[in-house]
Structure 1
Amino acid sequence: MKYGIAIIGILVVLLLAWLASSNRKEIKYKPIITMIVIQIVFSVILLNTEYGSIIIQGISAFFNKLLEYASEGINFVFGGLANEGEAPFFLTVLLPIVFISVLIGILQYLRILPFLMKGIGWLLSKVNGMGTIESYNAVASLMVGQSEVFITLKKQLGLLSKQRMYTLCASAMSTVSMSIVAAYMTMLEPEYVVTALVLNLFGGFIIASIINPYEVKPEEDMLEIKDQRKQSFFEMLGEYILDGFKVAVIVGAMLIGFIALMAAINHVFELIFSISFQHLLGYLFAPVALLMGIPLSEAVSAGEIMATKLVTNEFVAMLDLSGGSQEFSSRTLGILSVFLVSFANFSSIGIITGAVKGLNAEQGNVVASFGLKLLYGATLVSILSGIIVSLVL
């Protein structure tokens, strides 16, 4: 039964992408089928094999160790702030982003990260049938973040077509930054976070190649990443420390605003309609939950989580999932967890548009023009990842 639902779900997602396609005649179906098979294979390996379990445990142990190191600095500065056994969310989940941002900066400074991004990007381009820049950008988005990645492509931005800009932005919205993966692992099971990272990488290519197909000529696909100015090591450290802290504060501020706003809206809806706004959205997203293989008995509650992620951000939804009153089966928890690990929400449209506009005003306007289509595609990527995982859980 679950396989039949999953197959129907995959076909529906591909159909929804096809309906929004800008050029259906240019769609290359062979790479799409290949990447779906790759997604299924990776899901089986990571979630259903001993080798996958070893990989997940290793990655989880690595990030747990990073969190331990981060806590040393946090405890030194904020040690007396928290009550015994009641450390605030900002200290335990968000502030470790500062330390992980520093590690990313060091890897970037030593040219290890650019080498990995270009190498993996080149390999991906052989599978997805897209340009080298598109493949590089997807890996770079995962490594350095959805807004920072455009800085590494500053020289190329003005030369890229609207079609290629869509694919770059879609990759940035469909993945998440490594700097906040550890934060996710404090709220979700590490195995689902890691699996989602892999699935979304390929899912972004699948949906973008349907919604936005095009051909890249060899002379248009030059990838040359250069730093604008060579920084000293300690100058770089200071920059990445501040960048990490800014991310932590910005996420914290967004959580305060979104959670407070959602509570207010829920209260107003309960007074007027005797139903919360989130519960109402749950009914709207219940068909999508069913499509992802979630049982009917859990579909509305799952729809609430999914809708919360779309209208607020993934952190708010993860907090609802991990600390909410809903009782989900382990399979539904896995599907929802994978769905939540991406930047597919309304606020990301503004973040990406602002990042590109700051580097190239004209291309920023181009990105703004397809903002909703960008969110539509990124949401389909999350749904597709959830469906793929439902096959193996």
Structure 2
Amino acid sequence: MKILIFILGLTVTFFLAFLVSSNRKEIKYKPILILLVIQLILSYFLLNTSIGFILVKGIADAFGVLLKYSESGINFVFGGLANKGEAPFFLSALLPIIFIAVLIGILQHFRILPFIIKGIGFLLSKVNGLGKLESYNAVAAAIVGQGEVFITVKDQLSQLSRKRLYTLCASSMSTVSMSIVGSYMKMVEPKYVVTALVLNLFSGFIIVHIVNPYTVSKEEDILELQEYKKQTFFEMLGEYIILGFTVAVTVAAMLIGFVALIAAINGLFNSIFGITFQSILGYIFSPLAFIMGIPASEIVQAGNIMATKLVTNEFVAMLDLKNVAGDLSPRTVGILSIFLVSFANFSSIGIIAGATKSIDPKQANVVSQFGLKLLYGATLVSLLSGTIVGVML
């Protein structure tokens, strides 16, 4: 039965992508097949083998150590705010972003991170059927963040065609920033966070091949990165500390606003129609939950959480999942966890458009024009990754 649902999930996902394809005749099926096989192998390795378990546990433990180190600074400043021995969500899950951001800054400063990103990007370009710039951008977005990644390619941004620009933006929305991975691990199982990071990278390439097919010539396939500005070590530390704090506060503000707004809308719908707004969305998204392999008895509740992620953000949806995880089967929790680990939501359109506007206002207008298509494609990326994991659990 799992195999049949898996085939159904792939068929529906690819069909939904095919519907909005900009050039169906130019779709390259060979790299799509190669990438799909790689995904199946990697997901099986990470979720169903002892070596994969050791690898995932090692990564999760490493983040656990980093989070413990971050607690020393948080406790020093906010120790008195702990409530009954349990720190509030802002302190335990969001403020560690500052320390992770500092580590990213250090790796950037000593040119270690750019070397790793370029190396992985180069290897990916050999199998994904896309250009070096697209491959680099996908890896970089998963590490430095969806807004910051455009700074490193700002010299090429104005020269990019509409299709190549779409691919760069789609990669930024389909992945997540390494600086907040630790925060995710506070809400969902680390093994699913790690698996989603890997799968979304390849799912993003597959969906782009269908939604936005094109060919990059050898003359165009040049990767010219912006030189990092020269700073002293302590200047860099100060900048990344502020950047990490800004991200943490921004996420906190969005959570306050979105959670309150959803509560208000739910209350309004419940008083007028006798059903919450999220419940209505749950019914709308339930077919998508089913094709990922979620049991029929849980698809409405799962659809509710999936829709919440789309209209708010992944943090709100993860909190909802954490609250009801005990009522759901482990299979449903696993598939939903994979689906939630991405930036595919309405607010990301504004973030990406804002990031490009600060560099090239003309290209930012182009990004705004295909904003909804970006969100549509990124949601299909999450759907594809969830479907892949559904056949493995």
- Structure-1 separation of matches of 2:371 and 2:71: 38
What is the match of residue 24 of structure 1? 24
Instruction: Give 1:25 deviation, angstroms.
Output: 1.0
The residue type paired with residue 48 of structure 1 is N
Instruction: Name the SS of the counterpart of 2:287 in structure 1.
Output: helix
- Structure-1 separation of matches of 2:108 and 2:335: 33
Unaligned runs of 5+ in 1: none
The TM-score, its normalising length taken from structure 1, stands at: 0.99
- State how 1:48-59 maps to structure 2 within 5 Å: 48-59=48-59
| Structure 1 vs Structure 2 CA RMSD | 0.8
- Structure-2 separation of matches of 1:229 and 1:108: 11
Instruction: Give 1:85 deviation, angstroms.
Output: 1.7
Instruction: Name the SS of the counterpart of 2:13 in structure 1.
Output: helix
Instruction: Name the SS of the counterpart of 1:206 in structure 2.
Output: helix
Instruction: Name the SS of the counterpart of 1:217 in structure 2.
Output: coil
- Structure-1 separation of matches of 2:23 and 2:367: 19
1:231 aligns with 2:231: yes
What is the match of residue 292 of structure 2? 292
Instruction: Give 1:84 deviation, angstroms.
Output: 2.9
Instruction: Give 1:324 deviation, angstroms.
Output: 3.4
The residue type paired with residue 56 of structure 2 is I
- State how 1:68-217 maps to structure 2 within 5 Å: 68-217=68-217
Say if 2:154 and 2:226, in contact at 8 Å, map to a contact too.
no
- Structure-2 separation of matches of 1:217 and 1:31: 17
- Structure-1 separation of matches of 2:56 and 2:312: 29
- Is the deviation greater in 219-228 or in 15-24? 219-228
The residue type paired with residue 170 of structure 2 is A
Instruction: Name the SS of the counterpart of 2:14 in structure 1.
Output: helix
- Structure-1 separation of matches of 2:249 and 2:279: 29
Q: Which runs of 4+ in 1 moved over 6 A?
A: none
Q: C-alpha deviations, 1:288-309, integer Å up to 9, x for none?
A: 1111111110000000000000
Say if 1:356 and 1:364, in contact at 8 Å, map to a contact too.
yes
- Structure-2 separation of matches of 1:213 and 1:64: 40
The residue type paired with residue 168 of structure 1 is L
- Structure-1 separation of matches of 2:302 and 2:110: 43
Cα distance change of structure 1 residues 9 and 284 upon mapping to structure 2, 3 Å threshold: same
- Structure-1 separation of matches of 2:258 and 2:341: 18
- Structure-1 separation of matches of 2:202 and 2:229: 33
The residue type paired with residue 200 of structure 1 is N
Give the fraction of aligned pairs with identical amino acids, expressed as a percent. Answer: 67
What is the match of residue 318 of structure 2? 318
Instruction: Give 1:325 deviation, angstroms.
Output: 7.4
Instruction: Give 1:45 deviation, angstroms.
Output: 0.2
Say if 1:18 and 1:24, in contact at 8 Å, map to a contact too.
yes
The residue type paired with residue 72 of structure 1 is S
Say if 1:24 and 1:210, in contact at 8 Å, map to a contact too.
yes
Say if 1:144 and 1:178, in contact at 8 Å, map to a contact too.
yes
What is the match of residue 379 of structure 1? 379
- Structure-2 separation of matches of 1:264 and 1:28: 46
Instruction: Name the SS of the counterpart of 1:173 in structure 2.
Output: helix
Q: C-alpha deviations, 1:68-114, integer Å up to 9, x for none?
A: 00000000111111123221000000000000000000000110110
Instruction: Give 1:12 deviation, angstroms.
Output: 1.1
Instruction: Name the SS of the counterpart of 2:265 in structure 1.
Output: helix
Say if 1:266 and 1:278, in contact at 8 Å, map to a contact too.
yes
Say if 2:188 and 2:337, in contact at 8 Å, map to a contact too.
yes
Instruction: Give 1:118 deviation, angstroms.
Output: 0.6
- Structure-2 separation of matches of 1:323 and 1:77: 29
- Structure-2 separation of matches of 1:58 and 1:206: 29
Instruction: Give 1:326 deviation, angstroms.
Output: 6.6
Instruction: Name the SS of the counterpart of 1:219 in structure 2.
Output: coil
Instruction: Name the SS of the counterpart of 2:93 in structure 1.
Output: helix
- Structure-2 separation of matches of 1:222 and 1:336: 38
What is the match of residue 13 of structure 1? 13
Instruction: Name the SS of the counterpart of 2:86 in structure 1.
Output: coil
The count of aligned residue pairs is 393
What is the match of residue 280 of structure 1? 280
The residue type paired with residue 77 of structure 2 is V
- Structure-2 separation of matches of 1:376 and 1:226: 30
- Structure-1 separation of matches of 2:249 and 2:102: 16
Say if 1:345 and 1:375, in contact at 8 Å, map to a contact too.
yes
The residue type paired with residue 201 of structure 1 is L
What is the match of residue 260 of structure 1? 260
Instruction: Give 1:247 deviation, angstroms.
Output: 0.1
Q: C-alpha deviations, 1:25-68, integer Å up to 9, x for none?
A: 11100000110111110010000000000001100110000000
Say if 2:325 and 2:333, in contact at 8 Å, map to a contact too.
no
Unaligned runs of 5+ in 2: none
Say if 1:102 and 1:240, in contact at 8 Å, map to a contact too.
yes
Q: C-alpha deviations, 1:195-234, integer Å up to 9, x for none?
A: 0001000000000111001111111121122325211111
Say if 2:105 and 2:240, in contact at 8 Å, map to a contact too.
yes
Instruction: Name the SS of the counterpart of 1:18 in structure 2.
Output: helix
Q: C-alpha deviations, 1:165-187, integer Å up to 9, x for none?
A: 00000000000000000000000
- State how 1:31-42 maps to structure 2 within 5 Å: 31-42=31-42
Q: C-alpha deviations, 1:122-164, integer Å up to 9, x for none?
A: 1000101100000000000001000000001110101100000
What is the match of residue 240 of structure 1? 240
1:356 aligns with 2:356: yes
Say if 1:301 and 1:326, in contact at 8 Å, map to a contact too.
no
Cα distance change of structure 1 residues 325 and 164 upon mapping to structure 2, 3 Å threshold: closer
1:308 aligns with 2:320: no
Say if 1:24 and 1:213, in contact at 8 Å, map to a contact too.
yes
The residue type paired with residue 153 of structure 2 is L
- Structure-2 separation of matches of 1:271 and 1:83: 34
Say if 2:17 and 2:377, in contact at 8 Å, map to a contact too.
yes
- Structure-1 separation of matches of 2:211 and 2:93: 36
